[in-house]
Amino acid sequence: MFPLALVERVDGGHSFLFTFMVKTFFGKATCNWSFDTSGICCKTTTENFLLFATLSCLLADEKALVQLWCTKGASSYKPCHLCKNVMGRNAAPPGHSYLVPYTCADAALFDLHSAESFQNMACMLKIAASEEHPKRFDKLEKAYGLVFHPLGLPWCQEIQNICNPITNNCWDWMHILMASGGVAQYEFNQYTRRLCKTTGMTLAALDDFAAQVQWPKKAASWPKNYFQKRVVNEDDAHVKAFASEMFQYMDILNMLVHVMVRPGNLLQEETACLESMMNIISLLSMQENVLAHMPQLEHDIAKHHQLFLDLYPECNKPKTHWLRHVPPQLLKFKCNLSCFSPERKHKGVKTLASKVFSNVEKGVFYRAVAEDLASFQDEHSLLPVFLEHPKSIAEEAWLQPFFPGMQAAYGSKTLRFEGGYLRQTDLIWLPEEKVLVQADLFLQVRLLSSSEFLVWGTLYEEQARLRIMSDQVSIAASSDGAETAVTTQQWESQNAQASSEASGVAPLNTPETKVDGKPEPSTCSTCKKPVNDENSVVLMRSTQKQPLARRCKSCHSLKSRVNRVISKHGSLAQDWTNVTEEQKKEFYKNFQNAAGEDLLARMQETIVESKRLSTKVEFEGSGEYFDEADMNERYKNKPEQLQNLFANTRRFFCAVRQVWLYEDVNYKRTATDTEEVSRVDKRKVQKIPKNQGGGDDGNDGSLANKKSKKNKSGTGDEELPKLKAGEKKKIIKKIELLTTKRLHVMDLCAKAKAEKVKTLVPAYVLEAAEKLIDEALLFSTKVEDALGKEHGNVKEILETADKHCEVLTDGASRVKCQVEQAMAFVAEQGSA
């Protein structure tokens, strides 16, 4: 682990650190140990095993590859380090017999580097570094597309056979196509602009079209006004979108092509280019299955390259050339890799890092490794297809005719596979049969030597079975409709009779029982009035454990109005939560037609006095520092605690005693009981004229007018209660404590700005601490003003002061930890 804030101070930067890591794990630099030959001993609950690993490829975006391989990058004369003769857009002389620009669409003209030729070029640059004039050396660096540093990876002879920029380079197709100015982002943006220009549509109309799309559960909700906010109306611009959003963007464009563009013979060349891009993305999204379609992928990429170059010349970037290297690398490494998976972990890592106050890198590293190792405990973690939380199915005899060798059958609401997952009620399109199926249940049938997975659902045109194998999806349609109908009836009757404990899986979306064609009578879950399909909405479908839950449309609409009123009146929200469920049901039953000012008044009339008793428990830790000998003496009878202390406690190097000191923390518990009383007085409802307007929030009613008149009558200090002598003492005592904590943080910030450690303490830590100091000072000034006027809310002042004290304590611990680590690092460097 190495803090990235210090990379700039290391000779060789990221490339040197990566080289050091490769030598440590694979170069036998440590006690003649290597990950690929010696392995690591891992333990399970029952046995030990050796874990081996080899370095195959390095998957990263362009910025990371530039830092690790010491290359110039996309904006240089040599934007591709895999090709000898591919130059920048304007760097290659026109009509040259050997040099070609990266816009060249003929892959036969590319002269690829080998590991030996790249190493020879790096050696020549190293020799020229000591012999050539600096200006001539700079030109040589530009010609080679390299940034020379003697500690960089291309100039480390020890690992040339283990890792080099040619053999182990892996372009990430996600960043090439879908993110950071990818090719698909440019094309989708320009196609949308031309579609609007040709048809006269507006971006708002596209947003209306996208709003009608019903997305599956695993997809994120499509934002409103997406096209209006994200599409950039410039010839050389790309859409502002995340990589995950590009899949949904592609689906919307695909619908537009089939609904409007193709029937109207519009944008034929642009649509051909777009369809080639969609084919490329679809093939690359097939995981390892794409290896069986490599000729088709290479053909689509070559076709798209030429069309994209002709149609959008301003958008042709080096990524269009890098895309030509993706098919060969898939064949080379025999796997389909992208950064989608690690990019998804960013959110979790950032959330974890925000809660770690010391050793952020160490904490995140341990957590990530622990999660990866814990995943091996799941028997399904490495399977291409599996059921999530499967449960055994009772009475599975109806499956025996289809699978004579069946050993067991399991059911689940979720099916996971390499491309994602399918859930209950998802709609699945069967292109060969041209029908839609809504998934009701996912089955796994275990045979003697294999398993088969099925999706049982409702087909809109014919009964069929969708069989998902481990590596492909195949559809087996039943030719005998009567036999399928009997099977379905057996399945429903058997599962209806079996208990939830015996079967474990209930039939999903079981049709409701109907009598004489009319829906089964039910009652509203809120007001308990009789309802049916026509005058109610379904809140929860029936299962074996829970009955069908419905709500009448009047209560459903009233709940929406109540929520809008609560959102507009913040003080009302807390009091409304204190109303009991019985009172709320009575309210919904009696005031179904209330709205606007009348609804607000009815809600205020219902709120009653409530009390809340809570206990606040705090743990405060204080520690002393001891050397290793003292720690061994203190914990001589507690070896496990001693080992954990050495592994996890804070430590620093004492420059005077020349030893490491370890913190031994003692904790103190304090508990405070508080009683909070909140009350809103009842009042009679005022009669409102029928012709008076007003929305749900009541902004146009009489309450708002009275409130505005009341505010105009004075400054508002007369409304606050007068402070008593005892209350003043409590406030003064609390402000003194707040001032002490504020001064403590200021002192720590001054230490962090000392000359020796100011470059080691992160700037964002100091900025956050200074912001807390300013906020606490502003609050103290307001409290002193309230004390001078002798009017104020004692409870609010004390609670706010406690919050400021708490955040100042956290900020102080964060700054203190950073300062201690920086001073320890400086002391260690000085002793070395």
Residue 279, pLDDT above cutoff 90: yes
In a domain, 478, yes or no: yes
- pLDDT at residue 678 in the model: 45
CA 148 to chain centre: 37
In a domain, 669, yes or no: no
In a domain, 103, yes or no: no
587 CB-near residues (< 8 Å, 6+ apart): 579, 602, 603, 606
Q: Which of 488-497, 564-573, 638-647 has the lowest mean pLDDT?
A: 488-497
What confidence tier does 832 reach under pLDDT thresholds 50, 70, 90? low
Residue 272, pLDDT above cutoff 50: yes
- Residue with the larger pLDDT of the pair 806 and 5: 806
- pLDDT at residue 83 in the model: 93
From residue 595, alpha-carbon distances to 21, 608, 694, 708 in Å are 67, 21, 9, 22
Question: Could you say which of 342, 367, 402 is where a domain stops?
Answer: 342
Q: Give residue 764's domain range.
A: 722-832
- pLDDT at residue 692 in the model: 41
Residue 705, pLDDT above cutoff 50: no
Q: Which of 208-217, 300-309, 512-521, 576-585 has the lowest mean pLDDT?
A: 512-521
Q: In terms of Cα–Cα distance, which of 160, 128, 116 is closest to 26?
A: 160
Considering the domain architecture, whether residues 217 and 274 belong to the same structural domain is answered as yes
Region 22-45 average pLDDT: 80
Alpha helices in 72-182 (DSSP H): 115-131, 134-144, 173-177
Q: What is the pLDDT of residues 106-160, one digit of tens each?
A: 888 999 999 999 999 999 998 888 887 888 888 888 888 999 988 999 998 888 8
Residue 693, pLDDT above cutoff 70: no
Residue by residue, what is the 3-state secondary structure of 650-690?
Answer: CEEEECCCCEEEEEEEEEEEEEEEEEEEECCCCCCCCCCCC
- pLDDT at residue 349 in the model: 77
State the virtual CA torsion across 196, 202, 203, 204 in degrees, nearest 10. -160
- Residue with the larger pLDDT of the pair 355 and 256: 256
In a domain, 717, yes or no: no
From residue 222, alpha-carbon distances to 201, 421, 444 in Å are 20, 19, 33
Q: Which of 111-115, 196-200, 266-270, 444-448 has the lowest mean pLDDT?
A: 444-448
> Which of the listed ranges 87-96, 207-216, 581-590 does the model predict with the highest average pLDDT?
207-216
Considering the domain architecture, whether residues 356 and 419 belong to the same structural domain is answered as no
Region 65-81 average pLDDT: 88
In a domain, 637, yes or no: no
Considering the domain architecture, whether residues 427 and 291 belong to the same structural domain is answered as no
Residue 474, pLDDT above cutoff 50: no
What confidence tier does 30 reach under pLDDT thresholds 50, 70, 90? low
Q: In terms of Cα–Cα distance, which of 404, 346, 414, 407 is closest to 380?
A: 414
Residue 344, pLDDT above cutoff 70: yes
Retrieve residue 48's tokens.
């030990």
Considering the domain architecture, whether residues 194 and 313 belong to the same structural domain is answered as yes
Q: How many domains does the structure of the chain reveal?
A: 4
The dihedrals phi and psi of 379, each to the nearest 5 degrees, come to -65, -20
- pLDDT at residue 472 in the model: 33
In whole angstroms, give the CA distance from residue 807 to residue 810. 5
- Residue with the larger pLDDT of the pair 693 and 226: 226
Q: In terms of Cα–Cα distance, which of 532, 589, 523, 517 is closest to 559?
A: 589
In whole angstroms, give the CA distance from residue 128 to residue 374. 51
- pLDDT at residue 820 in the model: 83
Q: What is the pLDDT of residues 608-624, one digit of tens each?
A: 534 344 455 566 767 78
- pLDDT at residue 670 in the model: 65
Residue 273, pLDDT above cutoff 90: yes
Region 478-495 average pLDDT: 33
Across all residues in the chain, what is the average pLDDT?
77
Residue 50, pLDDT above cutoff 80: yes
- pLDDT at residue 711 in the model: 43
What confidence tier does 712 reach under pLDDT thresholds 50, 70, 90? very low
Considering the domain architecture, whether residues 399 and 435 belong to the same structural domain is answered as yes
Considering the domain architecture, whether residues 206 and 178 belong to the same structural domain is answered as yes
In a domain, 283, yes or no: yes
* SS3 state of residue 552: strand
Considering the domain architecture, whether residues 306 and 357 belong to the same structural domain is answered as no
Considering the domain architecture, whether residues 263 and 308 belong to the same structural domain is answered as yes
In a domain, 510, yes or no: no
Considering the domain architecture, whether residues 197 and 247 belong to the same structural domain is answered as yes
Retrieve residue 832's tokens.
């070395």
Place of tokens 């690929």: 36
- pLDDT at residue 672 in the model: 59
- pLDDT at residue 679 in the model: 44
What confidence tier does 625 reach under pLDDT thresholds 50, 70, 90? confident
What confidence tier does 462 reach under pLDDT thresholds 50, 70, 90? very low
> Which of the listed ranges 438-442, 516-520, 675-679, 700-704 does the model predict with the highest average pLDDT?
438-442
- pLDDT at residue 570 in the model: 57
Q: In this prediction, what percent of the chain has a pLDDT beyond 90?
A: 18
- Residue with the larger pLDDT of the pair 500 and 792: 792
Region 394-423 average pLDDT: 80
- pLDDT at residue 545 in the model: 52
- pLDDT at residue 707 in the model: 41
> Which of the listed ranges 160-169, 358-367, 689-698 does the model predict with the highest average pLDDT?
160-169
Q: What is the pLDDT of residues 633-680, one digit of tens each?
A: 888 888 888 888 888 888 877 877 888 888 888 877 665 555 444 444
In whole angstroms, give the CA distance from residue 555 to residue 112. 70
Q: Which of 42-51, 473-482, 658-667 has the lowest mean pLDDT?
A: 473-482
In a domain, 318, yes or no: yes
- b/e sequence 796-830, b meaning 16+ C-beta within 10 Å: ebbebbeebbebbeebbebbbbbbbbbbbbbbeee
Q: What is the pLDDT of residues 242-263, one digit of tens each?
A: 888 999 999 999 999 998 898 8
Q: What is the pLDDT of residues 809-822, one digit of tens each?
A: 888 888 888 888 88
Residue 519, pLDDT above cutoff 60: no
Q: What is the pLDDT of residues 721-763, one digit of tens each?
A: 888 888 888 888 888 888 888 888 888 888 888 888 888 788 8
How many other C-beta atoms lie within 10 A of the C-beta of residue 139? 13
Q: What is the pLDDT of residues 756-805, one digit of tens each?
A: 888 878 887 888 888 899 888 889 888 888 888 888 888 888 989 988 99
Considering the domain architecture, whether residues 177 and 315 belong to the same structural domain is answered as yes
What confidence tier does 466 reach under pLDDT thresholds 50, 70, 90? very low
If you count DSSP H runs as helices and E runs as strands, how many of each does the chain have, helices first?
28, 23
Question: Could you say which of 453, 471, 503 is where a domain stops?
Answer: 503
In whole angstroms, give the CA distance from residue 568 to residue 557. 17
Tell me what percent of the chain is helix, strand and coil, each rounded to the nearest 5: 50, 15, 35
Region 265-275 average pLDDT: 92
Region 603-612 average pLDDT: 58
Considering the domain architecture, whether residues 371 and 231 belong to the same structural domain is answered as no
What confidence tier does 719 reach under pLDDT thresholds 50, 70, 90? low
Residue 342, pLDDT above cutoff 90: no
The two beta strands, 549-552 and 610-626, are: unpaired
Considering the domain architecture, whether residues 420 and 360 belong to the same structural domain is answered as no
Q: What is the pLDDT of residues 530-540, one digit of tens each?
A: 887 777 776 66
- Residue with the larger pLDDT of the pair 694 and 110: 110
- pLDDT at residue 203 in the model: 92
- pLDDT at residue 531 in the model: 80
Q: What is the pLDDT of residues 286-321, one digit of tens each?
A: 888 899 999 999 999 999 999 999 999 999 899 999
